[in-house]
Amino acid sequence: MSHFDIAIVGAGHAGAQAAIQLRQLGFAGSIGLIGAEPELPYERPPLSKEYLAGEKPFERMLIRPAAFWADRAVTLVPGTRIAAVDAGAKRIAAEDGAEFGYGTLIWAAGGIPRRLSCVGGDLAGVHVVRCKASSLRWSGWR
């Protein structure tokens, strides 16, 4: 089982920025940035704008390039959704069974979009854009 002095759950803007700030402030312990999505941490706003329009490559949406995280000794754990927290044992468990110990837990898991609850909200053609995968799913209109 891996152990992080600080485990950050959610590798979106908030989680990534927390890791960046910890290093900037001189925190020298181990940091794990655990995220459900397979990508490096990235900015979401272009998903509904330049990325969707095909005007910006995904690489330019990354909050930091891969080398940054390695240089700062931030361990990225992508594609891992945390499903349980045992605060007493200071342990978190992922859906795939992986477990991580932690000293301090930062929960930065963001939110999920609310679907339209009105009639027609579930019709084909009514989309949610929240992540790279969902943006790609309906960018076929281009």
Ligand X SMILES: Cc1cc2nc3c(=O)[nH]c(=O)nc-3n(C[C@H](O)[C@H](O)[C@H](O)COP(=O)(O)OP(=O)(O)OC[C@H]3O[C@@H](n4cnc5c(N)ncnc54)[C@H](O)[C@@H]3O)c2cc1C
Site for ligand X contains 34 (CB under 6 A): yes
Site for ligand X contains 8 (CB under 6 A): no
Using the rule CB under 6 A, give the single segment among 39-47, 60-68, 96-104, 118-126 that binds ligand X: 39-47
Site for ligand X in 44-63 (CB under 6 A): 44-45, 47-48
Binder of ligand X out of 130, 136, 138, 139 (CB under 6 A)? 130
User: Are the C-beta atoms of residues 104 and 10 closer than 8 Å to each other?
Assistant: no
Rounded CA-CA distance 41/52 in Å is 18
CA distances to 75, 90, 91, 118, 123 from 96, rounded to whole Å, are 18, 18, 15, 35, 32
Binder of ligand X out of 6, 7, 8, 12 (CB under 6 A)? 12
Site for ligand X contains 38 (CB under 6 A): no
Rounded CA-CA distance 45/112 in Å is 15
Binder of ligand X out of 6, 63, 82, 105 (CB under 6 A)? 82
Tokens of 21: 């700030």
User: Are the C-beta atoms of residues 135 and 39 closer than 8 Å to each other?
Assistant: no
What is the contact surface with ligand X in residues (CB under 6 A)? 9-15, 34-37, 44-45, 47-48, 81-82, 108-111, 129-130
